Structure 1
Amino acid sequence: MNNRILIHLKKPVRSDHVLFQAFRYLIVGGICTLLDFVILFLLVQECDIPYLRASVLSFMSGTVLNYFLCSLLVFHTHHIKNRYLELLAYAVITFVGLGINTGAIWLFTDICGFYFMLSKCGAVFLTYFWNFGARKYLLHFQ
């Protein structure tokens, strides 16, 4: 086998490689999404809070956990050195994600007629790509 190929194959893949970050973000996102789903269900079913209002509250609770877990486990580089400015940028990204999430839940539930928890599944799928991409390429790029 060609030595160049062997050398390339032996090179370790960096743990800050986008695929590793995406995988870690998927795990962290799964934990935060579980929290989001549980709170959404409890607020709607047990507290009789309308599903859109409950989805905002549950999304924000998952987002707070996501911020801390991503800072510890996913993104190890910080482009914005001032933590307050980074948190502000994170909040703007979150606000857009909240709009995507809430709009998708409304669309899937009110327009398409799906059960609100099923709508949340579709919303999570759409929001994942925005949140990871924006955080990776706007906050934690190298």
Structure 2
Amino acid sequence: MIAQLFIKPTNKGKIQLFRYFFVGGAAFAVDFGLLWLLTEWGLSYLLSTAFSFVAGLTINYALSVRWVFRDHTLHSHIIEFVFFAAIGVVGLGMNEAIMWMATELAGLYYLGSKLISTAVVFFWNFTARKYLLFYGKK
């Protein structure tokens, strides 16, 4: 069971979602930490969100292609990363919109807003990437 969840390559969606949770957690830690650091150093929270997002995206891609998704729709890693990033850019737009609405309109602290946006964008990213880039052989 442990090998199925953590070691063996798989196309099973539930196991991939389980693994993506950890990958997302690592990417989130980088994203959240960098957001906090850059904002505390004086950058606007919206600009910090963009920079921290790119760092998280890079971590997410590297871990996803190594551990979560076995089969690739595209054969070029460069083109694959471009599409992976494009899905992420849609997620960034969602992230920025949620951050702004939750912070400016709802009056939440920006780090609380980040928690909300992360939950929403997590499911968008996993679903889009699994079914558009790493769907696997049926």
TM-score by length of 2: 0.90
CA deviations on 1:85-142 (whole Å, 9 max, x unpaired) are 2122112111101101111100100010000000000000010011000100000012
Structure 2 partner of 1:31: 26
Which residue does 1:109 correspond to in 2? 103
- 1:4-55 Cα shifts (integer Å, max 9, x gaps): xxxxxxxx9983200000000001100110111110001111x100100101
Percent identity (aligned): 36
Structure 2: gaps of 5 or more residues: none
The answer for the alignment partner of 2:84 in structure 1 is 90
CA–CA separation in structure 2 for the residues paired with 1:42 and 1:91: 23
TM-score (norm 1): 0.87
For 2:37, the equivalent position in structure 1 comes to 42
Q: Which runs of 5+ in 1 are unaligned?
A: 1-11
Partner Cα distance (2:135, 2:29) in 1: 27
Structure 1 residue 83: Cα displacement: 1.8
Pick from 67, 71, 81 the counterpart of residue 75 of structure 2.
Answer: 81
3-state DSSP of counterpart to 2:42: coil
Give the 3-state SS of the residue equivalent to 2:37 in structure 1.
helix
Larger radius of gyration: 1
The 5-angstrom pairing of residues 1-80 of structure 1 reads 15-45=10-40, 47-80=41-74
